[in-house]
Amino acid sequence: MSYQSTVEQLYALGHELASTPAHKFDLAYVREMLDALGHPERRFASVLIAGTNGKGSTAAMLSSILRVAGYRTALYSSPHLVRINERIRVNGEAISDAEFCEMHDRVERTAQDLLRAGKLPWHPSFFEMLTVMAFEYFASVAVEIAVLEVGMGGRLDATNVVEPMISVIADIALDHQKYLGDTLAEIAHEKAGIIRQNGIVVTLPQHPQANDVIGQAILERHARGVSAVKYVPSVSPGAETYLEGRPRPVPGRSRYPLTVMGEEIDVDSPLAGRHQLRNLALAIATAEELGQFWFKVTPKQMEQGIRETHWPGRFQVLPPSAATQQREMVLDVAHNPAGAWALRSALSENFSGRELTMVFAAMRDKALEEMAGILFPIAEQVIVTKVANPRAATTSELAQAASHTGTPLYEEQNVAAALARAREVSKPQGLIVVTGSIFLVGEAMSAMGIPV
């Protein structure tokens, strides 16, 4: 089967969220497939990371640190920006098309055998298939440690079949309420499902409702909670008094000194914004905890790993170029209200006083009115568009959701046209911000020829 046919067959299973019936969220069936494959997930160590916002950034930074430290490191993340292969990486390299097809063939044959034997009641979902493919690939190429980002929730997520050395819980906010619950406490309960009996969990203080649930889960499972607070700088990285003689950070990066394991390092992160300081703290604290196992990491290796982190589309600043038609641009996957507030804060920190033109698209199941209310008032004008996804809100739905903001608004029916309109209406010294959905950012990068 060709690569294109393989991808089409996976997508035919239905979108990983919208078309997946609730009854498919059953880890017993994922374990059945893994058992038939000889339990590939047991042939590498793992760290499992859950959260509403920041889990992907935390995973990317931690995997970069471990790679620099010399360990053969895998990263499993979701969703992807441009190509599905991005989700399955080893030492920073995405799985090849040929390997992707091979893994799919192995897992699909296994699923069909189990269906015929009556051991599976239905075909595995998109995300279940992809997760098992990732584990089979990581085992086949002798990965030492895998950093696994939970797809959604945690308790019933397909990634939760592993026995992680460390569980990590990033910031929790309202999102995916249809699947996870209507309150922060209910959502936190799902995220806390990755905490193991007598295990280790790295986290940070957050909303009291989430804190209560996570704390109770730690107590009930006799786990050891590790706070990453000591690695969150108390002063903004942009403050003159904090940098004292060091080079000032450039837009799109965070730079500040930090004492790690008794040694001062120069944090120079490509992930900007105060919210990323929390994600970075989680990555550092987790790397430090891994030292009690057989994964020793030095502060200098942490410094280099942070600096070399590659995680596009997260407050990614594109300088004026031929690709952007000489406009400075920010790409950011702010896909829920908490992400929108984080983007607004990062724009204020890095581009205060600049005129903003915003290109926006989102899924119709998101909090559209709230996101528009957070982001649109800071823009001179907004271009709403629709991405090629069945869950995407139409431009008229987005315009209706944004009607209360009073911000001048244009509608364009595809991303390329939206980018062209943004360049047309923005001033040469202005800033174009592309945000609202990871699918929008991915399509924009493809349209401009920006590598992922």
At 110-149, the pLDDT tens digits run 999 999 999 999 999 999 999 999 999 999 999 999 999 9
Residues 418, 324: Cα–Cα separation, whole Å: 13
Instruction: Give pLDDT, residue 275.
Output: 85
* Single-letter code of the amino acid located at 368: L
Q: How many Cβ atoms are within 10 Å of 175's Cβ, its own excluded? A: 20
In the chain the first and final C-alpha atoms are separated, in Å, by 26
Residue 314: phi and psi, rounded to 5, are -115, 95
Instruction: Give pLDDT, residue 344.
Output: 95
Comparing 323 with 170, the larger pLDDT belongs to 170
Return the HEC string of 237-296: CCCHHHHCCCCCCCCCCEEEEEEECCEEEEEEECCCCHHHHHHHHHHHHHHHHHCCCCCC
Pair type for strands 328-332 and 316-318? antiparallel
Instruction: Give pLDDT, residue 116.
Output: 97
Instruction: Give pLDDT, residue 177.
Output: 54
User: Could you tell me how far CA 207 lies from the centroid of its own chain?
Assistant: 20
Tokens 């990983």 belong to residue: 16
Mean pLDDT of 295-302: 97
**311: pLDDT strictly greater than 70:** yes
The three-state secondary structure class of 235 is coil
Lowest mean pLDDT among 175-179, 183-187, 276-280, 281-285: 175-179
Residues 210, 212: Cα–Cα separation, whole Å: 5
Instruction: Give pLDDT, residue 21.
Output: 46
Instruction: Give pLDDT, residue 19.
Output: 40
DSSP 170-225: -B--S--HHHH-SSHHHHHHHHGGGPPTT-EEEE----HHHHHHHHHHHHHTT-EE
* Single-letter code of the amino acid located at 286: T
Residues 241, 376: Cα–Cα separation, whole Å: 33
Tokens of 426: 């923005």
Mean pLDDT of 333-361: 92
Residues 146, 247: Cα–Cα separation, whole Å: 34
Instruction: Give pLDDT, residue 239.
Output: 40
CA dist 322 to 309, 328, 417, 443, 448, Å? 25, 11, 17, 17, 9
**3: pLDDT strictly greater than 60:** yes
Residues 402, 292: Cα–Cα separation, whole Å: 51
Instruction: Give pLDDT, residue 25.
Output: 65
Q: How many Cβ atoms are within 10 Å of 26's Cβ, its own excluded? A: 14
Mean pLDDT of 143-167: 94
At 63-85, the pLDDT tens digits run 999 999 999 999 999 999 999 99
Instruction: Give pLDDT, residue 236.
Output: 56
Lowest mean pLDDT among 50-59, 233-242, 330-339, 347-356: 233-242
In the chain, residues under CATH classification 3.90.190.20 are 316-448
In the chain, residues under CATH classification 3.40.1190.10 are 3-307
Tokens of 120: 């599976």
Mean pLDDT of 169-195: 79
User: Could you tell me how far CA 427 lies from the centroid of its own chain?
Assistant: 32
Instruction: Give pLDDT, residue 176.
Output: 53
Indicate the pTM of the whole model.
0.91
DSSP 335-386: -SHHHHHHHHHHHHHHHTT--EEEEE--BTTS-HHHHHHHHGGGSSEEEE--
**181: pLDDT strictly greater than 70:** no
Comparing 57 with 155, the larger pLDDT belongs to 57
At 4-40, the pLDDT tens digits run 999 999 999 875 544 444 445 679 999 999 999 999 9
- Residue 282 contacts by C-beta under 8 Å, 6 or more apart in sequence? 49, 54, 58, 62, 168, 170, 202, 203, 204, 228
Return mean pLDDT, the chain.
90
**242: pLDDT strictly greater than 60:** no
Comparing 326 with 100, the larger pLDDT belongs to 100
Tokens of 373: 């209310």
CATH number of this structure's domain 316-448, picked from the four choices 3.30.930.10, 3.30.70.20, 3.40.50.720, 3.90.190.20: 3.90.190.20
Instruction: Give pLDDT, residue 420.
Output: 95
- Residue 192 contacts by C-beta under 8 Å, 6 or more apart in sequence? 154, 155, 169, 213, 214, 217
Instruction: Give pLDDT, residue 87.
Output: 97
| Reported confidence tier of residue 266, pLDDT bands at 50, 70, 90 | very high
| Fold designation for 3-307 | UDP-N-acetylmuramoyl-L-alanine:D-glutamate ligase (3.40.1190)
Lowest mean pLDDT among 15-19, 129-133, 312-316, 403-407: 15-19
Residue 237: phi and psi, rounded to 5, are -60, -20
Mean pLDDT of 416-440: 94
Lowest mean pLDDT among 179-183, 199-203, 244-248, 346-350: 244-248
Residues 374, 164: Cα–Cα separation, whole Å: 37
Instruction: Give pLDDT, residue 173.
Output: 77
Residues 187, 169: Cα–Cα separation, whole Å: 12
